[in-house]
Structure 1
Amino acid sequence: MWAADRTRTWVLLEGASDVAAIRALRAARGVMPEDEPCVLVAMGGATNIRRHVAALAATAVAGRPPPLRVVGLCDEREAPYFVRALEAHRHALGLPFTPTLETLPDLGFQICRRDLEDELMRALGVDGTRTVLEDLGLGPAFEAFTRQVAWQGRPVLDQLRRFGTTTSGRKELLAGALAGAVAIDSTPPPLAALLASMPVRQGVSDPSV
């Protein structure tokens, strides 16, 4: 397990695809990976949040909240895991009030309706998402996928979401590309809120502010 840098903001994300998307959104705002003042943590699944939060809480000085900030992003169906993990370590993390499903966003933990990819695809629309696939050279593969009996006639966004998970590495590739294609003023609300809670390096002005 990593050791927490108590001077930085820690961003707890479900997996590598979420990290790729946040990096792309940050790059659009002038924050390059080599200058990222936040620690983006791919937890390997939302259910792993408890051990990550416990490790951060362990850095707290007895009787004092730790001089670090912890924020994150989760899917709606995974939000209860976040609530329970944060509740268990509320005081060590210096949280000002008890986490609930309703108060998670106020504590810096934003909630995607289905998942991050769905938020990005809805922001881009079907045409915009298919343009991203074409730019990645995945257009023919997607057309072949939609001809599969199990997926014929299904809503296009459902087809697109499932297609993104059919090959190893595709979800991460697609998440970064989708995020890079979203206009700053069209950033989905939960992602915009997370980005607003993340500091930028000195001298960088966030164009979305």
Structure 2
Amino acid sequence: MEGLTWAETDEMFCASTVLLEGVSDVAAVRAVALRLGVDLSSVHLVDLGGVTNVRRVLLEIVHTRPESDVLGLCDAGEVRFVLWALEAAGLGVAHERELPSRGFFVCHADLEEELIRALGTARTVAVIERLGLGPKLATLQQQPAWQGRPLADQLHRFCGVASGRKELLAGALAAELEPSEVPDPLRRLVERMARA
């Protein structure tokens, strides 16, 4: 049931629905939930196909499944979309700092940055190499625009450029985290999922 679009969950029971920007977010949340021992059997991780769809999907859920606990995760640069969506659904909050009270949690910059910072650059590189992507990372590092840039910046770019790679790495990096290392927004979201 995890990672379905909202339309695909239409006939399913859901105790909670988690709105996520894309497949990489779904992969990371799934990996962290498994790492923390949270049962996902009655949780729908919904790939929005882009944060700009959050308003439409949230309104559909509120009107068709008012009993569902709606949660979410977004990047700092996308907060305005979530605030607008919550307002349109009659669940508005006055400020970003109030989003956790509605079950929405904000990544410091974005999900990739949170994961890289939590793991550190050496462990992130080790995961990339274990997946056989080391040569592709080396190619990026040799590009004039990225030569001499901090490794964390290079890794952030590498993890976020290709959709298939983005999903693969988000899940793999999240799965590598020890429970105590899970970034705050992800941890708080999964803990809220467990309570729902």
Match of 1:52 among 50, 57, 65: 57
Matched to 1:69, the amino acid is D
Query: 1:71 maps to which residue?
Result: 71
Partner of 1:23: 30
d(CA) in 1 for partners of 2:11, 2:184: 28
Contact 1:13–1:73, Cα closer than 8 Å, also in 2 = yes
Letter in 1 for 2:177: V
Counterpart-to-counterpart distance in 1, 2:131 and 2:195:
29
Change (3 A) 1:77 1:4: farther
1: CA distance, partners of 2:59 / 2:94: 15
SS at match of 1:40: strand
Show the counterpart of 1:37: 42
8 A contact 2:105–2:189 mirrored in 1: yes
Gaps of 5+ in 1: 61-65, 202-209
State the match for 1:117 in structure 2: 112
Answering whether residue 9 of structure 2 is matched by residue 9 of structure 1, we say no
User: Would the alpha carbon gap of residues 6 and 195 (structure 1) be closer, same or farther in structure 2, given more than 3 Å must change?
Assistant: same
Residue in 1 aligned with 2:3? Answer: none
Q: CA RMSD in A?
A: 1.9
Find the counterpart in structure 2 of residue 87 from structure 1. Answer: 87
Distance 2:57 2:28 in 1: 21
1:155 maps to 2:150: yes
Deviates more, 1:81-90 or 1:98-107: 98-107
Q: Which of 175, 183, 187 is the matching residue for 1:188?
A: 183
User: How far did 1:152 drift?
Assistant: 0.5
Q: Percent identity?
A: 46
1:119–1:188 contact (8 Å) kept in structure 2: yes
Unaligned 5+ residue runs, structure 2?
A: 1-5
| TM-score computed with the length of structure 1 as normaliser | 0.84
Partner residue of 2:168? 173
Cα distance in 2 for residues equivalent to 1:168 and 1:69: 28
One-letter code of the match for 1:103?
E
Question: Which structure has more helix as a fraction of its residues?
Answer: 2
Kindly indicate whether the alpha-carbon contact (under 8 Å) linking 1:4 and 1:56 is maintained by their aligned counterparts in 2: no
Using structure 2 for the length normalisation, give the TM-score: 0.89
Structure-1 residue corresponding to 2:135: 140
Which secondary structure state, in structure 2, belongs to the residue aligned with residue 53 of structure 1? helix
Report the alpha carbon displacement of residue 197 of structure 1 after superposing the two structures with TM.
0.4
Structure 1's 185 and 195: CA in aligned 2 closer, same or farther, altered over 3 A? same
Shift of 1:183: 0.7
CA drift of 1:154 comes to 1.1
Q: Is contact 1:38–1:199 with CA below 8 Å preserved after alignment?
A: no
Deviations 1:139-185 (A, max 9, x none): 12211210111101112111111112333400000000000001100
Structure 1 position 105 matched with structure 2 position 105: no
Cα distance, 1:59 vs. partner? Answer: 1.5
